[in-house]
Structure 1
Amino acid sequence: MMRLPVRLYAFLVLTAAIVWCFSGCSGGDQKPDQQKGHKLAKKASSTDNFLSYTDALTKLPLSKFDSLGIVPTNKAFAGKLPISIYKGEAIGRDSIIVYPYKNSEVANIKAAIRLLVAQSITDSLTIGDFTRYFGDIKKEKPLIGNTETPLPVEITVDANTALKLTFNSNKKLALAHVTMVEVLKYR
């Protein structure tokens, strides 16, 4: 009779030790995954904010396509995106550099806004994001052969506005990372 409580006691101690050992290991792997998920959600929101900002710029009339005309739009997105208007001096790599200009070289383009995308946003911003948001890429017949740097592509937003996207080289166009966006106004 004496052996039964000792065996039961040994069994309970061994079971408790095993449960204690594995309980410490079960939650350890969840924190990095949660952090990765948080970072992906943060990147997705900056991509969505950039697309919304670009959309707001496409809706501006031609008369607002200058440094003063885009100030209200920039203020509306200042808390969501790192926006800096180019004024001739160097700006950090973590800012979206906005450069509005009037065009006198090409007759049909009256004005444009050039957006140099911040590196932190470029890493998650693809051509596919733009085609899902704005529509299909304008198909053009290439006038020259393959180049080392891919030629920009264009998306027609409406009869008066188009987007020209410059991107990094990638085998699949939809996965190429966008480095510069030009909002072009024709009228």
Structure 2
Amino acid sequence: MRNSLINLKVLYYIVSACTFSCFLSCNGDHGQSQRNRTAHPEVKEIKSSQAQIFLTYLDELVKLPDATFNEAELRSINKKYAGQLPLVMYDSTEEQSRQDILIHYYTNNQLGPVMESGIRFLMPETLTDSLVVSDFTRYFGNTEDEEPLIGITEQPLPVHIKVSSDREMKLTFKNNVSKEQAGVTMVEIFNTGN
């Protein structure tokens, strides 16, 4: 009888040890696999939220009154978004990072019915991959295709979005998928001053 009690205690300790070690190994694997599963969605979420912030930033620029559609106001708005977007004003004397949104403000000094001023945004690859033409059409409205001046070109022609009576947006995009799903490589906002 004493022998059977010892055997039961030994059996109890063995089963408890096996259960405990199984629990620890399952718990450790679960935590590791949980981290692996959530790593990619977080990165995608960061990219998509940055794309949404960029659209909000553009919306603020598009809604500027004619009197404040200038480089000084652009720099002021850039400071507001500096912690959220990698915005850098173009400077020919400095080398730019490929991760920055490169911004160039320009004015047109020609007379006639042309745009008065504009802002050009060269997109980094990371933002191009998460921001497509359909994102702009959902946010700003329908696109109008640009008419070719010469025959067929290999690169698709930019599309335009008439945002208001005096603002227009031009989107240049990749040629690897349908137009609506193509990644945007360059955005221009024109102040036509009509």
Bin the TM-score by the shorter chain: 0.7 to 0.9
Please tell me the residue identity of whatever aligns with 1:66. N
Q: Deviations over 1:51-85 (max 9, x none)?
A: 11111111123333332232221222122212222
Shift, 1:155, TM fit: 1.1
Please tell me the residue identity of whatever aligns with 1:161. R
Structure 1 CA distance, aligned partners of 2:49 and 2:36? 20
Which one has a bigger Cα radius of gyration? 2
Counterpart residue number, 1:155: 161
Q: Does residue 105 of structure 2 align to residue 100 of structure 1?
A: yes
Counterpart residue number, 2:133: 127
TM-score of the superposition, structure 2-length normalised? 0.82
Identity %: 36
Q: Does residue 83 of structure 2 align to residue 43 of structure 1?
A: no
> Contact (CA 8 Å) 2:145, 2:157: kept in 1 or not?
no
Structure 2 CA distance, aligned partners of 1:77 and 1:124? 19
> Contact (CA 8 Å) 1:65, 1:101: kept in 2 or not?
no
Q: Deviations over 1:81-115 (max 9, x none)?
A: 12222233342222222111123387232221111
Shift, 1:141, TM fit: 6.2
> Contact (CA 8 Å) 2:146, 2:158: kept in 1 or not?
no
Q: Quick check: 27-36 or 103-112, which moved more?
A: 103-112
Alignment: residue pair count: 187
TM-score of the superposition, structure 1-length normalised? 0.84
Counterpart residue number, 2:72: 68
Please tell me the residue identity of whatever aligns with 1:94. Q
The 3 A distance-change label for structure 1 pair 8 and 166 is: same
> Contact (CA 8 Å) 1:65, 1:100: kept in 2 or not?
no
> Contact (CA 8 Å) 2:62, 2:167: kept in 1 or not?
yes
In structure 2, stretches of 5+ residues that fail to align are none
Counterpart residue number, 2:124: 118
Shift, 1:29, TM fit: 0.7
Counterpart residue number, 1:79: 83
Which of 122, 142, 151 does residue 136 from structure 1 map onto?
A: 142
Q: Does residue 50 of structure 2 align to residue 54 of structure 1?
A: no
User: Which structure carries more helix by proportion?
Assistant: 2
Shift, 1:182, TM fit: 0.5
Q: Quick check: 86-95 or 10-19, which moved more?
A: 10-19
Shift, 1:147, TM fit: 2.8
Please tell me the residue identity of whatever aligns with 2:60. A
In structure 1, stretches of 5+ residues that fail to align are none
Please tell me the residue identity of whatever aligns with 1:33. R
Structure 1 CA distance, aligned partners of 2:90 and 2:17? 70
Q: Does residue 167 of structure 2 align to residue 167 of structure 1?
A: no
Shift, 1:38, TM fit: 2.2
Shift, 1:176, TM fit: 1.0
Structure 1 CA distance, aligned partners of 2:50 and 2:144? 26
